[in-house]
C-alpha cells in the first residue's frame, strides 16, 4: 500500500512514517517546514527518516507542500493515488493559538478540508487524522470519554480540532469516506517538540535556568509515550470504521455514526501529577530543577485523563511504557542530539 503521512517532519509524523517504512509500505511524507519551532530539528528528523534502514531503500519520499495550497494538494492526491492517509499536520499549541489565532485557520481548517477533498476525489480507503484531548475543554468528569459532550472548548486550537471532527463526519456521511479521529493525550518522547513541557523543562534544567511550573504544580496529565501512540495509530489505520445502520443521534455515542466514522481517545489512561513528572526528569538528568511556580495559564486545564477502553477493544493494545522509562529515553536522546554531557 501507499500512504500519505502529513506532518512527516513533525514529532508524531516522523515516528509514524518511520514505522510504516519499517513495515515495508511506500510512504510519501508531506510537511511545509514552517518556523513555529526550530526548523533544524524538523530537517534532522527528515534526515534520520531518510537514513533509516527501510526508508533508505526508496520506500520514503518527502514533499514540501502547504496544506492550504488547494491545487498543490489536489495534484498530489491525483498523481500519487494513495491507499490510506494519516493526517497529522496542523498548527499546534494551545497557548500559541491565543496570541496567533489566524495561523490556525489555514493549517487546521483549510488544510483539513483539502485533505478531505483529496480523499473523496481519489477513493482513499481510510483517513486517520489527529484530533486532540483539548476538545474536552470545560469537562470536569474524568476520565474523559468519547461519549462525553465536547461542545465547550477553551482555546481556538481546541475549537479547530473539534471542527475537524465535524468536517470529517460530514464527508463520511455525504461521500462515504471512512474517517477515524484520534484525540491525543500529551505525547512525549525522543524527537519531541520544543514547545512541550518535557523538552522545555529539560533544556532549562541543563542550562541552569528556572522552569515555569503552572498552577503552582497542581496539575495532572495523561502523559503518553510516543511508541505507544504510534502502535495505536498503526493498528487503528488497519481497522476501517464500519457503517452502523442502527445508530441514532438520540441514543448513540457521538464517537460513532450511521456513516463510516469513529473517534477514539489515544492516551495512557493513567494521569500523572506534574510534580511527579518533574521528579522523574530530575532523576533521569541527575539534576535538580529550580522551579518558578506560576498561576494557571489561559486555555489550560487542571487535568487530562483518557478513557481508552474503546481503543483497546478495537486494537488490542494498551500503553506499556511508564513515565519513568519514557522520560529516561527522552533524556538519553536529548543528551545525544544536543551533545549535552552526562
Catalytic residues: 157
Residues facing residue 180 across a β-bridge: 128, 262
C-alpha dist (Å) from residue 191 to 50, 273, 312, 328: 15, 23, 26, 13
Exposure b/e, 85-101, CB count within 10 A at least 16 = b: bbbbbbbbbbebbeeee
Q: For residues 131 and 265, what is the distance between their CA atoms, to the nearest angstrom?
A: 9
Q: For residues 340 and 24, what is the distance between their CA atoms, to the nearest angstrom?
A: 35
- Report the chain's terminal Cα–Cα distance, integer Å: 43
Residues facing residue 330 across a β-bridge: none
Q: For residues 55 and 20, what is the distance between their CA atoms, to the nearest angstrom?
A: 9
Burial of 336 (0-12, 13-18, 19+ CB in 10 A): exposed
Residues facing residue 250 across a β-bridge: none
DSSP secondary structure letters along 273-339: EHHHHHHHHHHHHT---EEEE-PPPTT--SB--B--HHHHHHH-------HHHHHHHHHHHHHHHHT
- 8 Å CB contact between 21 and 60: yes
C-alpha dist (Å) from residue 138 to 126, 141, 144, 185: 31, 9, 11, 16
Amino acid at each position: 500500500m501507499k500512504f500519505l503521512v502529513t506532518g512527516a517532519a513533525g514529532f508524531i509524523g516522523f515516528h509514524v512514517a518511520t514505522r510504516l517504512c519499517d513495515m515495508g509500505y511506500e510512504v510519501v511524507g508531506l510537511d511545509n517546514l514552517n518556523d513555529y519551532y526550530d526548523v533544524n530539528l524538523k530537517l534532522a528528523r527528515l534526515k534520520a527518516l531518510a537514513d533509516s534502514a527501510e526508508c533508505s531503500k526508496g520506500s520514503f519520499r518527502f514533499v514540501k507542500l502547504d496544506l492550504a495550497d488547494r491545487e498543490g494538494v489536489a495534484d498530489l492526491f491525483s498523481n500519487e493515488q494513495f491507499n490510506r492517509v494519516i493526517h497529522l499536520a496542523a498548527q499546534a499549541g494551545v497557548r500559541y493559538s491565543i496570541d496567533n489565532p489566524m495561523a490556525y485557520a489555514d493549517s487546521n481548517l483549510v488544510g483539513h478540508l483539502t485533505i478531505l477533498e483529496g480523499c473523496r476525489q481519489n477513493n482513499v480507503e481510510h483517513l486517520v487524522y489527529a484530533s486532540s484531548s483539548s476538545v474536552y475543554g470545560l469537562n470536569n468528569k474524568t476520565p474523559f470519554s468519547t461519549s462525553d459532550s465536547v461542545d465547550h472548548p477553551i482555546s481556538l486550537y481546541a475549537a479547530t480540532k473539534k471542527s475537524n471532527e465535524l468536517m470529517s463526519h460530514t464527508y463520511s456521511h455525504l461521500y462515504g469516506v471512512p474517517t477515524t479521529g484520534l484525540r491525543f493525550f500529551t505525547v512525549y518522547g525522543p524527537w519531541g517538540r520544543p514547545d512541550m513541557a518535557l523538552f522545555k523543562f529539560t533544556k532549562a534544567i541543563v542550562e541552569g535556568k528556572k522552569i515555569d511550573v503552572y498552577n503552582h504544580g497542581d496539575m495532572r496529565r495523561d502523559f503518553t509515550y510516543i511508541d505507544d501512540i504510534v502502535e495505536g495509530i498503526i493498528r487503528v489505520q488497519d481497522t476501517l470504521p464500519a457503517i452502523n445502520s442502527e445508530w441514532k443521534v438520540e441514543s448513540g455515542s457521538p464517537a460513532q455514526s450511521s456513516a463510516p466514522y469513529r473517534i477514539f481517545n489515544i492516551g495512557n489512561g493513567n494521569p500523572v501529577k506534574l510534580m511527579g513528572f518533574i521528579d522523574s526528569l530530575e532523576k533521569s538528568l541527575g539534576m535538580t530543577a529550580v522551579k518558578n511556580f506560576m498561576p494557571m495559564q489561559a486555555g489550560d486545564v487542571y487535568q487530562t485523563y483518557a478513557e481508552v477502553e474503546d481503543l483497546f477493544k478495537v486494537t488490542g493494545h494498551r500503553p506499556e511504557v511508564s513515565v519513568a522509562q519514557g522520560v529516561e529515553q527522552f533524556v538519553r536522546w536529548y543528551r545525544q542530539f544536543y551533545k549535552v554531557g552526562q
